[in-house]
Amino acid sequence: MNPLLRTPLLDGLELKNPVMPASGTYGAALEGKEFGDVRELGAIVTKTVTPKPRKGNPPPRLAETPCGMLNSIGLENPGLETFLAEVLPRALELGPPVILNLGGESLEEFEWGVERVQETGVVALEINLSCPNVQGGALPFATDPEACLRIAQSLSNRSELPLFFKLSPNTHLLCEVAMAAVEGGAQGLTLINTLLGMAVDWRLGRPRIARGVAGLSGPAIKPVALRCIYQVRQVVEVPILGVGGIQSVEDVCEFLAAGASAVQVGTQHFREPLAGVRLARELGELCAQEGFSVQDLQNRLGKDRKRNRDH
């Protein structure tokens, strides 16, 4: 293990480096292995699994955009029982600790799911409150602080595993929602899920994505992700997993400096299935070259802010 990359997140949860794939951009969890050795990832995050199987949304559900892509997959997955029986055992064999991303249509579904996945070998749960492609994009838990507080309280009471709540940038109440999640018992946050967007085929007179509105990801959203992390870092102290448009090791450093405790690589995986592995390696090289550690990099903006205030 490279000591410069050590990434302690919580008591009892330390990663060997801060780079992991973002949910849903890495197959169910296993596909990276088809392309090479994934043992160098800090962790593996599964695609969202829901208690019941979901077919997902009708095609077309992907479209390329300048500097990014739109998706409306709609959380297609085989359901929690099939996932636990057929996918998770193989994901656990890959080496890196596994974070299971859990979705649901209702509070009751989330509660059932959280109870079901205790003692399955995963190190933490990422609770996906923020997929814009289900429930008509309404996102009640990720846009209403009261609703977020209630679900966080209920799920944290049911879980021995740490819970990271994945929040949405599609609200002006992001900081309030983040504080509510933490007050309710979230041990960490993941920021951000996709931004609502759209692409139009004006010749055919229809949206390019069957459902019309979809989630925008990729480098186009990086400044939004950095802003969200920076603002939320001012109001909570829990670890933040930063995600949105990361492509380069410089991007990783920017996210850590803005307040992320670790980072997730998403859309870049569609161009480069081992992007996360490359970034973990490059981060190690950069840290050695520059003589700093991941922990030195973290929250540099926050520290500057404090320094400026103290003087």
Active site residues: 131
| Residues linked to residue 127 through DSSP beta bridges, in sequence order | 102, 165
Q: Does 128 bind ligand FMN (CB under 6 A)?
A: yes
DSSP 54-109: B--PPSP-EEEETTEEEE-----B--HHHIIIIIHHHHHTTSS-EEEEE--SSHHH
Q: How many residues bind ligand FMN (CB under 6 A)?
A: 26
- Shortest reach from residue 291's CB to ligand FMN, in Å: 28
Task: Record the tokens describing residue 284, joined without a space.
Answer: 């190690």
Q: Are 82 and 57 in contact (CB under 8 A)?
A: no
Interactions with ligand FMN, residue window 69-98 (CB under 6 A): 69, 71, 73, 75
For residue 165, which phi and psi values (nearest 5 degrees)?
A: -90, 125
- Shortest reach from residue 212's CB to ligand FMN, in Å: 17
Q: Does 57 bind ligand FMN (CB under 6 A)?
A: no
Q: Does 48 bind ligand FMN (CB under 6 A)?
A: yes
d(CA 126, CA 266): 15
- The residue number whose beta carbon is nearest to ligand FMN equals 24
Q: Does 168 bind ligand FMN (CB under 6 A)?
A: no
- Shortest reach from residue 66's CB to ligand FMN, in Å: 14
Q: Does 233 bind ligand FMN (CB under 6 A)?
A: no
Instruction: Write the CB contacts of 244 (distance below 8 Å, at least 6 apart in sequence).
Output: 169, 191, 192, 217, 221, 222, 224, 225, 226, 228, 266
**Out of 185, 207, 244, 259, the residue judged to bind ligand FMN by CB under 6 A:** 244
DSSP at 251:
H
Q: Does 170 bind ligand FMN (CB under 6 A)?
A: no
Interactions with ligand FMN, residue window 130-159 (CB under 6 A): 131
Closer residue to ligand FMN, CB minimum distance, 48 or 299: 48
Closer residue to ligand FMN, CB minimum distance, 71 or 156: 71
Closer residue to ligand FMN, CB minimum distance, 166 or 233: 166
Q: Are 5 and 293 in contact (CB under 8 A)?
A: yes
CA dihedral 217, 218, 222, 224 (to 10 degrees): -20
d(CA 251, CA 257): 10
**Residues making contact with ligand FMN (CB under 6 A):** 22-25, 47-48, 69, 71, 73, 75, 101, 128, 131, 166, 193-194, 217-218, 221, 243-246, 265-267
